[in-house]
Amino acid sequence: MAFLKSNGACLREFTSQFPRPSRADNHKSRRNVKWRSPQAAVVPNFHLPMRSLEVKNRTSAEDIKALRLITAIKTPYLPDGRFDLEAYDDLVNMQIENGAEGVIVGGTTGEGQLMSWDEHIMLIGHTVNCFGGSVKVIGNTGSNSTREAIHATEQGFAVGMHAALHINPYYGKTSLEGLVSHFDRVLPMGPTIIYNVPSRTGQDIPPRVVNTVAQSPNLAGIKECVGNDRIEQYTGNGIVVWSGNDDQCHDARWSHGATGVISVTSNLIPGLMRELMFSGKNPSLNAKLLPLIEWLFQEPNPIGLNTALAQLGVVRPVFRLPYVPLPLAKRVEFVNLVKEIGRENFVGEKDVKVLDDDDFVLVGRY
């Protein structure tokens, strides 16, 4: 009872700070005061942040800026569509063993768009728990809803991710001022990479927006897919950039100032992609890899990657719809590409196979 009384007193004390105006006061105010837009909705600290002040093994934005090879890691599935964590762990271990410095968890390649937020945050936490001491874990906690982006990013940092990846709001696009406001709400939470891929979002993040949000010390850099001219524009102003285009990453790194690449192809050949990013200009190696990269992106990512990893035997041939495998003729092309580049350069140890159409499992409900 004493507890209830004390809390009741606290409640009365709290509510007394907000006296209710009388009806007469309301009537006068409506007649004499001009209408003003409500301010509560735009006050940044109207809601208290969900944070802990305990010292964490937190990575700084400067640590993220130094990464040169970041793999947008694939998410493998069991036949019923749930995560295949054993296969996932093998994939991440192969990245670490071959020199990848970071992984994007639940990005486009990892099919975050097909995950519930529960699955998404669980996979980020699992990756941190198992591999956080060996590789930087960057969680894709972006959303076209600022509310969801805030909530997911809070949860991602709470489970230990080292940095967040944030896309601009897609489909329900906003103004340039809206883009700045969106990013301003998530940047204070921790190191952040902003992802610009207009082919998917339908809206470019222009330099005006990036230069504005770059004032935040938590902006680690930009994953830029517009091209190398844009990359050079940023790097010339001291903004860190990773190429988001595997076919352009060699020139981006060595001729346009990019720090490195956030790569899809490194899921398959992490060692060769590391060589491309670390060992200086190597146009012959770049030319050798371009046919594989072109093959990977002939259909929207991650269709090609999912097909290739299944053919290499490192994941089960299970697809969450709407993704479906590449057709038989394209699978034969991949077998030939593996032979040309050398099976020893690809992940896994099994012989590459064409696979029959019936080998693939397509899951619509999971």
Query: Percentages helix, strand, coil for the chain, rounded to the nearest 5?
Result: 50, 10, 40
Active-site annotation holds for 234? no
Cβ–Cβ < 8 Å for 260, 242: yes
Tokens of 133: 């001491």
223 is catalytic: yes
- Catalytic residue from among 223, 350, 353, 366: 223
**b (16+ CB within 10 A) / e for 74-85:** bbbbbeebebbb
Residues 6+ apart with CB under 8 A from 3: none
Question: In angstroms, how far is CA 279 from the centroid of its own chain?
Answer: 26
Place of tokens 């004032």: 215
CB 289 within 8 A of CB 265: yes
Q: Which two tokens stand for residue 12?
A: 């009365």
Q: What is the DSSP string of 77-125?
A: B-TTSSB-HHHHHHHHHHHHHTT--EEEESSTTTTGGGS-HHHHHHHHH
The first and second tokens of residue 16, run together, are 């007394």
- State the catalytic residue, choosing from 195, 281, 330, 339: 195
Positions annotated as catalytic residues are 195, 223
